[in-house]
Amino acid sequence: MGTNRPDFAEFYRRSKDECLFTVLLSVGDRDTAQELLAEAFARAWASWRTVSRHPAPAAWVVRTALNAHVSRWRRHRREVPLADPGAIADRPTAGEAFDSPVDPRIMAALLRLPERQRQVVALRLFLDLDTARTAAALGIAPGTVQAHLGRAIAALRADLMPERQKETPS
Amino acid sequence: MNDDDLITLVREQRGSVEMTTPVDQIIGRGRVLRARRRVPGLAAGALAVAAAAALAVTALLPGSHPAGRPLPAQLTAWTVTRQADGTITVTVRQLRDPAGLQRTLRADGVPASVTFFGHEPRACQRYPKVSAILMAEVFGGHGPPLVIHPKALPHGAGVQLSPGHYPHGAPIALAAELVQASRGCTGT
């Protein structure tokens, strides 16, 4: 049992921050994301013999954390859709931006993506999974992964680029 | 800026958060989970009962409330309406002006904390006696809009609103939770 500890510790050190950001993207709150992820990593340790042979252990951890979030959500949260789901937020105020661990404008743009596109962005860009592993983790075809990623990048470009271009003197 | 620059910009965000839980703490919890697995069925059974109870309760409760004489506080991003029976209806169209929404709810007698971006206040702690039944009493149906029954809030409890998502296929949503009321969190 003790022999797997060094492997796990190295895996944890290497992947914890990327996993945290990926979960944060879905959960929206850093403390909640960290709590969920700590539990998911603990489960990974408890099943390390199996999880270490998973093609993408980090994706396993993220998925476990998000599944736990769904369970908690069902028991402790009441969620209602926004009246205008396409318009999650305008640019936050300076005070809100100051409190945020990430650039709130980019975070808002990511949160505006449809769920599947956000999952693909999270696995491809934040966990650095290749197309095949992303497809396997999400249970979709590799071509679908590419299509979702392309649409997500186009949406992010439309959201973020105009203002960025204005900031850059030609 | 081309697509590669955009991807780099987005990727840079992941370096902005750090998981601070020590690995020893993770492993300690892992040991507990592994030991618990040797007593099969206990934890899973408890969770299944809780989930089933939640579904049963929410299925039996009405999804709407009789309309009284609304006193609307109309703003672009959200609307708060106090019904004649004391219930508060919150319709959020955009996640903007959380401070204004928080002020309005507090003025209507709901100890509330509203956070749309960034951290929830550190002073906010989950209400420890939360249950599916209490959630249904305080928030009623599943909306939209979000309906709050202030009279159903137990002494010492408040409401926290934050962004949320449906787990699958998900429209952007507003999440409501119960927290311990305190000066630093809900204002009272």
Nearest-by-CA chain B residue for A48: B30
Alpha helices for B38-149 (secondary structure H):
42-60, 98-107, 132-139
Amino acid at B66: P
Please report which helix (H) or strand (E) contains residue B90, including its range: strand B88-92
CA distance to partner chain A, nearest, from residue B99 (Å)? 10
ipTM of the complex model: 0.71
With an 8 Å Cβ cutoff, are A79 and B176 in contact? yes
B177 sits in which H/E element: strand B172-180
Judge: B23–A97 Cβ closer than 8 Å, yes or no: no
Interface of B with A in 19-48 (CB under 8 A): 19-21, 23, 25-27, 29-34, 37, 47
Mean pLDDT of A3-28: 82
Residues A121, A127, A131, A132: is their CA dihedral positive or negative? Answer: negative
Could you tell me the two tokens for A157? 């470009």
A91 pLDDT band, cuts 50/70/90, is: very low
A40-64 per-position pLDDT tens digit = 999 999 999 999 988 889 999 998 8
Of A12, A24, A70, the CB nearest to B167: A70
Cβ A90–B94 below 8 Å, yes or no? yes
Query: What's the whole-model pTM score?
Result: 0.54
Please say whether the beta carbons of B30 and A42 come within 8 A: yes
Which pair of structure tokens corresponds to residue B87? 């219930």
Over its length of 188 residues, how does chain B's per-residue pLDDT go in tens digits?
688 888 888 888 777 788 989 999 999 989 988 887 765 544 444 434 333 333 232 222 222 333 334 444 444 688 899 988 889 999 887 777 889 999 999 999 999 999 876 666 778 888 888 887 888 889 877 667 889 999 999 999 999 998 765 444 444 678 888 999 999 999 98
